[in-house]
Amino acid sequence: MLNSTRRAVLSVGIAGWLSACTGLRPLPGPNPISLLEQRVGGLIGVMMRDPVSGRMLAWREHERFAHCSSFKLSLAAWVLDGARRGLWLAEERLRWTQDMLMSNSPATTAALAEGLTMVELARAVVVFSDNTAANVLLRRMGGPEGMTAWWRSIGDNTSRLDRFEPDLNRVPAGTLLDTTTPAAMALTVEKLVSGAVLHSEAKALLTGWMVESQTGLRRIRAGLPAGWIAGDKTGTALNSENTTYADLAFAGPSGAPPLIMAMWYEPAEASQELWPAAEEVLAECARIFIAG
């Protein structure tokens, strides 16, 4: 679990967030996510916003949570952005060795002999959350420091990456390593899926990969109305330092500007096994916002 030292509040408060996202207004009444947190135990961090109506629902939005694999959404976007800028070729083929393969690496395991292009690896990190693909891309593109620098270049001054997989999933008490906040990441997700960070073709690729991914079907997407179009990128850490469930998503009816959601849940008790009830907490957060 992240302790109070690591849960540093950003120097800009809620007023800064609201001014940066003109027109946002909190839902009235007691915060329903606070009530949900009291009921299920542990800690919930969310930022959910409707850029059209201005509705938002936030709780612990400026507290830090571990990225886990949710950083891979930004990693894939960085691949596409860098290719457009001529920093590398999307079709550049990268290779790795048997000893570099990690758990949960289906795409890179299958392609050990021939390797994959950078754009194929970018798809693998979003669709399959392929851990080896993430490390191969990071090593080619400048490492965790490069990932952090890219966030800064698009205006995210909060998110940071410090280590490779799998170390980034263990966030020691008293550090800010490999963390972000719901407020910062919701704004970054909006920039990636709806803003000007990526050109239209790259946005279509990225959002298509998010829709194709199956890792979050029991999280935010389980709380959405039938027929909505949605895509997401999950993150999960199951260890004694920080048992964490994360999900970053866009969602909405066909043709409508999407809702943006960034959510984390840290159960009160650490576990090394996936807990479906913890995933359901994220689905319930989505239901609460949509119903409000």
Least Cα distance to 265 among 234, 288, 232, 229 occurs for: 234
Cα 246 → chain centroid: 7
Task: From the candidates 61, 69, 159, 266, give the one annotated as an active-site residue.
Answer: 69
| 246, 232 contact by CB (below 8 A) | no
Q: Which of 37, 63, 165, 284 is catalytic?
A: 165
Cis peptide bond N-terminal to 172, omega within 30: no
Q: Which residues 6+ apart lie within 8 Å of 187 measured at CB?
A: 20, 21, 155, 156
Give catalytic status of residue 105 as yes or no: no
Sequential DSSP letters for the chain = ---TTTSPPPSS-HHHHHHHSTT-EEPSSS-HHHHHHHHH-SEEEEEEE-TTT-EEEEESTTS-EE-GGGHHHHHHHHHHHHHHTTSS-TT-EE---GGG--SS-HHHHHTTTT-EEHHHHHHHHHHT--HHHHHHHHHHHTHHHHHHHHHHHTT--S----S-TTGGG---TT--TTEE-HHHHHHHHHHHHTSSSS-HHHHHHHHHHHHH--TTTTTGGGGSPTT-EEEEEEEEE-SSS--EEEEEEEEESTTSPPEEEEEEEE-SS--SS--HHHHHHHHHHHHHHHH-
Q: Is 69 a catalytic residue?
A: yes
Active site residues: 69, 165
